[in-house]
Copies of this chain bind each other. A is one copy, B any other.
Amino acid sequence: MKELWKARQALVERALEAELAKTDILDPILRESMSYSLMAGGKRLRPILLMAAADAVGADGTKFLPVAAALEMIHTYSLIHDDLPAMDDDDYRRGKKTNHMVYGDGIAILAGDALLTLAFSVILRQKNVPAEALLRVVDEISRAAGAEGMVGGQVLDLRAEGVRITMDELRRMHMGKTGALFHAALRSGAILAGATEKQLAALTAYADHFGLAFQITDDILDVIGTAEDIGKPVGSDEKNHKSTYVTLTSLAEAQELARRTVEEATDALAVFGAEADFLRELVAYLVNRKQ
């Protein structure tokens, strides 16, 4: 699983570079700023999920690299904007200065805007897919990225600062902030690969459990991880009085919830054979990650 992940990560890196190079960006500093954050490494989880969903349906996931790359552009734009002083005010990400620390707030906002917009152009560069399927993918991704999903979740997060929220509110916030794009990644992969309704439903269920497991693990790592492993200060959630799966329950309960959620994610894949092994191993691996 890790080898395939690495190989595909390399494909994603190349696709991102190629898509940027193909784009006639009017200003060199804008290009540099977009590239600075886009090529800063990272797990490339959303593209990997999209390709894995297509694999599960029996297609070759690497055929859909343009749409996969577009998801990473949307993820990167959200990180640039989230890090701004007007939002989370973070100076470092993955051990590197954040975009606005290097280019200033104005260029950072515009680099984010440009990456979000470019994502939609890049989806349209996808070849060998029926027009109806591509339109459906644009719809999935735009709804997941916007006020119904990621942006909406970020607003809920901003507004929850210093406020104790309920478990339901926490879940709703994360379903928007991170869950929606995982959801769109898996569903888009399925749609591009021509999934049946049953397969699409299974991957959608997996996506929801996957997103939850991923977030609980994030919250756990903030407590038990090391700053070196995760590339940012640990214990920041407690310091910032942030509601998390750990602070609203306990470390042990959060770990138990993560374990159960991985099981549910795996159960959701029962309709698939070995083609979905990557997704089965991925979710198990991610809850045991150190970063």
A contacts, CB < 8 Å to B: 23-27, 29-31, 34, 77, 81, 84, 86-87, 104-110, 112-114, 116-118, 120-121, 123-124, 130-132, 134-135, 138-139, 142-143, 145-149, 151-156, 158-159, 172, 176
Contact = CB atoms under 8 A, between A and B. Distances in A.
B26 A110 contact: no
Nearest to A136: B124
Q: How many copies does the complex hold?
A: 2
A110 B156 CA distance: 11
A20 to B, nearest CB: 9
Given A116-B117, A121-B142, A130-B131, 9 more contacts: A23-B147, A26-B149, A30-B151, A107-B155, A113-B146, A120-B142, A121-B143, A123-B138, A131-B132
A38 to B, nearest CB: 12
A34 B135 contact: no
Contact of A105 (B29, B86, B135): B86
Given A86-B109, A113-B151, A158-B107, A146 B131 contact: no
A29 B172 contact: no
Nearest to A173: B26
A153 B109 CA distance: 14
A228 B59 CA distance: 62
A27 B165 CA distance: 14
Contacts of A26: 147-149, 152-153, 155-156, 172, 176
